[in-house]
Amino acid sequence: MEPTSENKVVFVTRRTRLDELIARYNTRDQAQFVIESQGADFGDYIAEHQLYYQQRNEAERILKGICRVQVVDRQHLTNFIFGKFDTVVALGQDGLVANTLKYLDGQRLIGVNPDPRRWDGVLLPFSVSELGKVVDETFSNSRPIKEVTMARATLNNGQILDAVNDFFIGPQTHFSARYEISVGDQCEKHSSSGIIVSTGLGSTGWLSSLMTGATRIAGSLTRKQLELKQNVEIPWDSKYLYYTVREPFPSQVTRTNLVFGKIDQDTRLTLTSEIPERGVIFSDGIENDFLDFNAGTEVSISISKRSGQLVV
């Protein structure tokens, strides 16, 4: 089928759990043996895999009937160059949408849920059957767009990393990180297991988990039932971030006053590393795409100049 538009869609896909297992264990039979020897249902892996590829093939067929299409696997996003006027379609879980947004600069993104019975799909409002209509409306600028605020980490060596959900700043493995933290005109030395900085989009994830744990611990120690909202929800386009220090340790030289707070357009969070080695900064759970945060490195956390554009 010949495309009806000269517009271009970048179709972002991901490997299934079965794909990952075969890559790890070389063959499908070996992957099945490993999974079933652990008492798990290999049939669920097969069902997920088959449905994903059925939906992927159908989505690609629909897109090629509308416009030019370029297919990109998630693992190649870090090196892929998006065109200024590309429209992006991501087929997968919510994490694929967040991972893709991080590499965009104003391009509109359409999140498609290949398996609504398996994935809630907060960032995946559309089904494959709706894709043609949604793409046409996006091309004609008649679909609403939701802005997503992103966070930015800027190092004193000039390196920059953006985050759609959150940053982790701290040790690569389980040891205490030593650093100096500054927020506004306040400054102190810290020893902790790292810092999380969350955007509005990521507020119901890692940030919510940390706040839930802290509240429950405080309630147990005080024997009071502290009020806790089911989810910490911050609007996706809010022009502020929250930082949380994990397991801060007080000592003669380290303090625990700056362990939670807000970062806005007038207030930055600055950290100076005292970690001899294996200090890292990574975003959105992608641990293999990190910046070094070793002794002498200074990072400034702020709101990114870029923002995500989600089609809704």
2 within domain boundaries = no
Question: What integer pLDDT is reported at residue 226 of this predicted model?
Answer: 57
Domain that holds residue 270: 150-304
Q: What are phi and psi of 48, to 5 degrees?
A: -60, -45
Last residue of one domain, picked from the residues 143, 169, 185: 143
Confidence of residue 218 (pLDDT cuts 50, 70, 90): confident
CA distance 182 to 271: 6
Q: Both 127 and 205 in a single domain? A: no
Dist CA 208 CA 192 (whole Å): 19
Confidence of residue 65 (pLDDT cuts 50, 70, 90): very high
pLDDT category, 41, cuts 50, 70, 90? very high
* For residues 120-124, average pLDDT: 90
Average pLDDT over residues 256-273: 93
Read off the DSSP letter of residue 156: T
Q: Specify if 178 maps to a domain.
A: yes
- pTM score of the predicted model: 0.86
Percentage of residues of the chain with pLDDT beyond 90: 80
Average pLDDT over residues 3-11: 84
97 within domain boundaries = yes
Higher pLDDT residue, 188 or 214? 188
Q: C-alpha distances in angstroms, 307 versus 150, 237, 303?
A: 6, 9, 9
252: left (phi over 0), alpha (psi -120 to 50) or beta: alpha
First to last CA, the chain: 27
CATH number at residue 104: 3.40.50
How many CA atoms does the CB half-sphere of 263 hold within 13 Å? 28
Look at residue 40 and tell me if it is in a domain: yes
134-178, pLDDT tens digit by residue?
Answer: 999 999 999 999 999 999 999 999 999 999 999 999 999 888 999
To the nearest whole number, what is the mean pLDDT of the chain? 92
pLDDT score at 286: 85
The verdict on residue 170 lying in a domain is yes
Residue 229 has pLDDT above 60, yes or no: no
Amino acid identity, position 239: K
**Total domains in the fold of the chain:** 2
Over residues 220-244, mean pLDDT: 77
Q: What is the DSSP letter of 174?
A: S
Q: What is the pLDDT of residues 285-297, one digit of tens each?
A: 888 889 999 999 9
Q: How far is CA 228 from CA 198, 199, 200, 223, 238, in A?
A: 18, 20, 18, 15, 21
- What is the rounded distance in angstroms from the CA atom of residue 246 to the CA atom of residue 244? 6
Residue 310 located in a structural domain:
no
Query: In the predicted model, is pLDDT for residue 230 greater than 90?
Result: no
Amino acid at 87: T
pLDDT band at 228 (very low <50, low <70, confident <90, very high): low
What is the 3-class SS of 197-244, one letter each residue?
EECCCCCCCHHHHHHHHHHHHHHHHHCCCCCCCCCCCCCCCCCEEEEE
CB-side neighbour CA atoms (13 Å) of 267: 14
Question: Parallel, antiparallel, or unpaired for β 279-283 and 290-292?
Answer: antiparallel
The pLDDT value recorded for residue 88 is 98
- CATH of residue 177's domain is 2.60.200.30
Q: Name the phi and psi angles at 42, rounded to 5.
A: -70, -25
